[in-house]
A and B are shown apart, each in its own frame.
Chain A
Amino acid sequence: MLSQYLPVLIVLAFALVVAGAILFLSHVVSPRIKDAVKQQVYESGINPQMDARLRYPIRFYVVAMMFVLFDIEVIFMYPWAVVYNQFLSQGAFIFWEMVVFLGILFAGYLYLWKRGAFQWE
């Protein structure tokens, strides 16, 4: 059963070799001349002011949280989608239960919308 994943490991190994070879070769082949100006942060020619890792808008955290919420629903629906056709022979219950689930999900979605979670100024 797990043997079907063996080619995945081979792909991973080959991709790692390619990525490693590219980075290693460029590290070895390319010239390197140190220079005070090259060492500076690129900021369109203006002298850099502060560190780049400053505080950033909370919107990004909100998006990340919404992503986790909705992605779990998406993963939850995959098994349902796979067996959908088989279970339809026993009646349309499988369809309506997902409609109910999506209705509850959609209510939460509308709540998020009203609270301004999707609002980008």
Chain B
Amino acid sequence: MSLELLTILINALKVVVVISLVLVTVMILTLMERKISGWIQNRYGPNRVGWGGILQPVADGVKFFTKEDVIPGHVDRFLYFMAPAIALVPALMTFAIVPFGDQMNFFLFGHEITLQFQLVDLNVGILYFVSIASLGVYGLIVGGFGSNNKYSMLGGLRSSAQMISYEIPMGLAIIAVVMLSGSLRLNDVVMEQAGLWNVVRQPLGFIIFVVAAFAETNRLPFDLPEAEQELVGGYHTEYSSMKFSSFMIAEYSNLITSSALITTLYFGGWQVPGLELLSLPIWLEQVLQILAFLVKTAFFIFLYMWVRWTFPRFRYDQLMNLGWKSMLPLALLNIVLTGAWIAYF
């Protein structure tokens, strides 16, 4: 077997396995979200299906598929059908650049193969995330426009304005990280944090990135696009069955990717401080590194759910003021401070 063909096959296998794992994680997260909500609000949460409610996501999935897929008469059918797919595809694609382990070498069919624990090792790395993630907004605005419903229209407009507003502080916060690493490749960003995690060197940038990530994923306290009390469901008011579920899968995939990116950019990715001092066998070290990445990411996913029940929703003008009048100047200041710190200290 030639090396090129083998590389393509390994890449394809990696893509199928990792994206499927992301989808399974989405299923688990729907249960986790409801269980944590129940725990925080001092109630049980789902506890009937399976052992202590563990099969609830499966029951939900079956129910979503078998429920009636209502297509109202007034919608723009093409846009209405496309919107869930437009939201879902970029959401699944962004995970591709997240490195979740160190690379390893092994022999297969007489070729030495370097296996990256990352779907795509792009030299433009983080720029790929910024560009693909911003495509997700099309799903919401097309869904809102295609539904031809006032709630959906307002939700779509709000979400697009919110997402483009918070993309700028997010991009500026990433610039400060890039200045430290001198590379856009996420592997280099992770390697560069071997001594000291970026959260220590970039506390302001970290806060800006986390707040912007919450706004980008449309999670509370920034879930204005689907504010239940005023817009019913926002852009997905007119959606039912699996089309509605596609929007939810997209939202949870974005949540996973942004948690993974917070880990990668600010918490050392798969690095475990002091692991090399133990001089463990190489395979055990790699397993521990992947586990460390998963634990860090899981913590930030938990943080999303925790924040959901801790902060009330912003008003829309407060949201825009925070984005344009506070986060943007702070992000610019962060770049100047980082530059001065590298140049003079």
Contacts and interface: CB of A to CB of B under 8 A. Distances in A.
Contacts of B70: 32, 38
Contacts of A26: 64-65, 69, 241-243, 245
Interface in B166-180: 167-168, 171-172, 175-176, 178-179
B114 interface: no
Instruction: Label chain A's interface by main secondary structure.
Output: helix
Interface stretch (B40-48, B99-107, B121-129, B262-270): B121-129
Contacts of B140: none
Interface string A12-43: 10111011101101110111110000111111
Interface residues of A, number: 66
A12 B89 contact: yes
B216 interface: no
B267 to A, nearest CB: 20
A88 B15 contact: no
A111 interface: no
Nearest to A66: B324
Nearest to A92: B343
Contact of B66 (A30, A56, A102): A30
Instruction: Label chain B's interface by main secondary structure.
Output: helix
B335 interface: yes
Interface of A: 4-8, 10-12, 14-16, 18-20, 22-23, 25-27, 29-33, 38-44, 51-53, 56, 59-60, 63-64, 66-67, 70-71, 74-75, 77-78, 81-86, 88, 92, 95, 98-99, 102, 105-106, 109, 113, 118, 120-121
Given A18-B92, A41-B74, A84-B179, 7 more contacts: A14-B16, A18-B23, A22-B242, A22-B249, A77-B175, A85-B179, A98-B336
